[in-house]
Amino acid sequence: MFKRFIFITLSLLVFACFKSNKKSIKSDKVVVGVLANGSFYDKGYNQSVHDGVVKLRDDFGIKLITKSLRPYPIAGKKLLTVDEAMTEDAYAVQKSPLNLFWLVGYEFSGLSVKLSYEHPDIFYGIIDAFDYGDIQVPKNSLAIKFRNEEAAFLAGYIAAKMSRKEKIGFLTGPTSDHLNDFKFGFKAGIFYANPKLRLVSKKAPSLFNKEKGKEMALFMYKEDKVGVIFPVAGITGLGVYDAAKELGSKYYVIGLNQDQSYIAPQNVITSILKDIGKVIYSVSSEYINSGVFKGGIVIDRGLKEGVIEIVKDPDILNNSLVDEVVDLENKIISGEIIVPDSEYAFDLFKSKL
């Protein structure tokens, strides 16, 4: 669909900007659309988006239109391809006269380019975009990527230090290549803490089956003998918390996107905080306040920018481990530790230790 390539964006580059006819916008006239894959109440990824855009609506009085992708295959439209069904859902949101349209998730990477060229009067933001290869990001589009591997490294380090077993689990949905940054960052953190530990990685058949997630987690805990599971699997991942609670406080989980310790207080040892809503709010509010949309670029965010963090609760980790994690965090931010985001980069990382 499009080639793999790494965009390098430097803060010294002059941003390509689209300007409205006025220097400011009447916020109560602004219409913002959001399309996501899955529920906005998933206690994680989409929940963060929801919280950010609701705050935007409340603070600026904008009109907000949110929609989740319909489950595929579409009832009564079984001949539609996945891309065609996704496009229909996007067009449904665009029936309203949008100013700004947020597409949330890697699966929208190709569609965002298509829509941007079809509708040059609408500004688009794509969250967790794929690398676009030689395809130029349209001037009315902004792609946002996150250095997920940085926080995943810290989570892996914590998992290795806290695990009572010699194996640690990683659970994704059926498609996982786009999660290699999480996987190999996590694996690198484990290896950095204890090279003898092994990562057990499994794929669930769906992102929307909590019971299946619980079933797989129970197997991983009891049969695979993992001590910690890091689920990156949407609603399915919530089943891991149920499994851990059922088995007891010695079975650990790592949360994602929000502090998920409230879901299983005795089992969650840390959470990766990925404040997508904060990024959406920041970009959207800047556009509303200035009338300028900074498009045609890819923005990269991680620990240094404060968009991604790791929960460091001394009551769970102990003060010594917290100090170790803070030290690693600073080394990542300074560039002393370069966290791998692919299998090849992980092999290089191992060879240098």
pLDDT digits (tens, 9 = 90+) for 60-111: 999 999 999 999 999 999 899 999 999 999 999 999 999 999 999 999 999 9
Residue 42 has pLDDT above 80, yes or no: yes
- Cα–Cα distance between 86 and 65 in angstroms, integer? 16
pLDDT over 70, % of the chain: 93
**Residue 2 — very low, low, confident or very high, per pLDDT cuts 50/70/90?**
very low
Helix H or strand E segment including 117: helix 109-118
Around Cβ 298, how many Cβ atoms within 10 Å? 18
In which residue are the tokens 């088995």 written? 247
pTM of the predicted protein model? 0.89
Q: Over the chain, what is the mean pLDDT?
A: 92
**What is the residue extent of each domain of the chain?**
16-146+275-301, 148-274+312-351
Long-range contacts of 327-335 (CB under 8 A, 24+ apart): 328/153, 328/154, 328/157, 328/192, 329/154, 329/303, 332/150, 332/153, 332/154, 332/303, 333/303, 333/304
Query: 148-274+312-351: what fold?
Result: Rossmann fold (3.40.50)
- Cα–Cα distance between 260 and 75 in angstroms, integer? 34
Token couple for 212: 């299946």
Domains 16-146+275-301 and 148-274+312-351 fall in the same CATH topology: yes
pLDDT digits (tens, 9 = 90+) for 155-171: 999 999 999 999 999 99
- Cα–Cα distance between 22 and 16 in angstroms, integer? 17
**Which CATH code is given to the segment(s) 16-146+275-301?**
3.40.50.2300
Residue 12 has pLDDT above 80, yes or no: no
Yes or no: say if 258 and 44 are a contact pair by the CB < 8 Å rule.
yes
Q: What is the mean pLDDT of residues 249-253?
A: 98
pLDDT digits (tens, 9 = 90+) for 329-350: 999 999 999 999 999 999 999 9
